[in-house]
């Protein structure tokens, strides 16, 4: 067993490794989680092949928990954007003991969400906020999972005050929970390519919403998404580019007449009329009804 300081150091290194690796391919394969992580030459698997709660021997507290596509554990999401994670029901309950310790010691863990078969999005720095012995569930808190506002202190207890702040925090949490999984699913569905220009640099790709978050139908599902590179995402949102319900790219007519540098010429104007690069699975195709709503508003803007 490592000392507490060593454990903290390794845990942080694992978080960094997971963030780096997941961003390269919008997620991580099971094999990679099992085989690819090493600390000073020592191999450490990052999930348990057989159990939902992973407790490597060298850690005093749980390292990761898993939510699989066909998980027998029923994970529930609360209104506050927290996840309720069921106690491990089988075996000696050892997994629960170490997860309980993570709760008591505020030790952050990893939540591995299976976004497609054998493919995971890791959320790092998840806090075990509660332990409900009555319903036999742990409360997992995702508010610190962003890189931008990572905190390891007690600020998780300082709840926001006003109603507006509460609503905002709730929105942010929901976004934090749903956005990465949505991005991972969409980019995977499009084989890690921009649907317009086929750019294959995953770290330059976004999962664009067809109908925005704010729209009542704007849910984070693949059929409401498009894998787009940064420039085409922005061009789609700004209505410089439209997509017809039969999957053709259209560039707005004023933009087609403009004269500018190579980005406008090759990156935008030459995309006019090309067929959208579609996902492999038909069930992942963009919903034509959603495209139609957005295309109508593109035509209005032109």
The binding site for Zn ion (CB under 5 A) comprises 194, 196-197, 199, 229, 232
Using the minimum distance from each CB to Zn ion, give the nearer residue, 139 or 194. Answer: 194
What whole-number distance in Å separates Cα of residue 125 and Cα of residue 102? Answer: 12
Task: Assign residue 247 a region (left: φ > 0; alpha: ψ between -120 and 50; beta: otherwise).
Answer: left
Nearer to Zn ion, 124 or 196 (CB): 196
38-39 and 42-43 beta bridge pairing:
antiparallel
Helix (H) or strand (E) holding 232: helix 230-237
Whose Cβ is closer to Zn ion: residue 63's or residue 207's? 207
d(CA 142, CA 139): 10
Q: Measured from the CB atom, is 19 or 270 closer to Zn ion?
A: 270
Rounded least distance, CB 282 to Zn ion, Å: 22
Q: How far apart are CA 26 and CA 204, in angstroms?
A: 11
Q: How near is the Cβ of 252 to Zn ion at its closest, in Å? A: 16
In the numeric block, which tokens belong to residue 199? Answer: 């750019």
Question: What are the tokens at 94?
Answer: 């050892």
As measured in angstroms, the least distance from the Cβ of 105 to Zn ion is 45
DSSP state of 22: H
**Residue with tokens 């845990």, as numbered in its chain:** 11
Query: Whose Cβ is closer to Zn ion: residue 12's or residue 274's?
Result: 274
Angstrom CA distances, 31 to 25, 45, 49, 117, 183, stand at 14, 10, 10, 12, 21
Could you tell me the smallest distance in angstroms from the CB atom of residue 270 to Zn ion? Answer: 11
Using alpha carbons, list the distances in angstroms from residue 177 to 8, 14, 124, 141.
Answer: 24, 20, 11, 10
CA distance 238 to 295: 12
Would you say 175 or 230 has its CB closer to Zn ion? 230
**Min dist. Cβ of residue 276 to Zn ion (A):** 11
Residue 144 CB, nearest approach to Zn ion (Å): 32
**Dist CA 67 CA 112 (whole Å):** 6
With beta carbons less than 8 A apart as the criterion, state whether 288 and 245 touch: yes
Supply the minimum distance, in Å, between the C-beta of residue 64 and Zn ion: 34
Q: What is the DSSP letter of 68?
A: -
Nearer to Zn ion, 110 or 229 (CB): 229
The answer to whether the beta carbons of residues 244 and 296 sit under 8 Å apart is no
Residue 216 CA, distance from chain mean position: 21
Nearer to Zn ion, 234 or 293 (CB): 234
**What is the nearest approach in angstroms of Zn ion to the Cβ of residue 199?**
5
Report the Cα–Cα distance between both ends of the chain, in Å, rounded: 65
């Amino acid at each position: 067993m490592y000392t507490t300081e060593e454990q903290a150091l390794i845990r942080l290194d694992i978080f960094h490794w997971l963030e780096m690796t997941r961003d390269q391919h919008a997620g991580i394969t099971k094999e990679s989680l099992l085989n690819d992580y090493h600390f000073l030459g020592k191999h450490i698997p990052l999930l348990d092949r057989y159990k939902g709660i992973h407790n490597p021997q060298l850690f005093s507290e749980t390292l990761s928990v898993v939510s699989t596509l066909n998980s027998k554990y029923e994970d529930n999401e609360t209104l506050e954007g927290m996840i309720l994670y069921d106690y491990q029901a089988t075996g000696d309950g050892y997994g629960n003991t170490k997860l309980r310790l993570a709760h008591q010691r505020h030790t952050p863990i990893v939540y591995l969400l299976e976004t497609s078969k054998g493919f995971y999005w890791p959320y790092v720095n998840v806090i075990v906020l509660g332990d409900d012995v009555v319903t036999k569930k742990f409360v997992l808190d995702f508010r610190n999972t962003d890189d931008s506002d990572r905190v390891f202190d007690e600020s998780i207890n300082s709840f926001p005050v006003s109603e507006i702040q509460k609503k905002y925090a709730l929105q942010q949490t929901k976004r934090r929970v749903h956005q990465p999984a949505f991005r991972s699913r969409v980019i995977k569905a499009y084989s890690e390519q921009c649907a317009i220009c086929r750019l294959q640099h995953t770290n330059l790709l976004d999962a664009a919403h067809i109908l925005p978050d704010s729209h009542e139908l704007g849910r984070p599902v693949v059929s409401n998404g498009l894998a787009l590179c940064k420039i085409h995402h922005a061009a789609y949102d700004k209505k410089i580019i439209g997509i017809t319900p039969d999957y053709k790219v259209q560039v707005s007519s004023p933009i087609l007449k403009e004269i500018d540098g190579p980005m406008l010429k090759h990156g935008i104007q030459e995309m006019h009329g090309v067929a959208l690069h579609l996902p492999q699975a038909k069930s992942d195709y963009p919903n034509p009804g959603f495209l139609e709503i957005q295309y109508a508003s593109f035509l209005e803007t032109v």
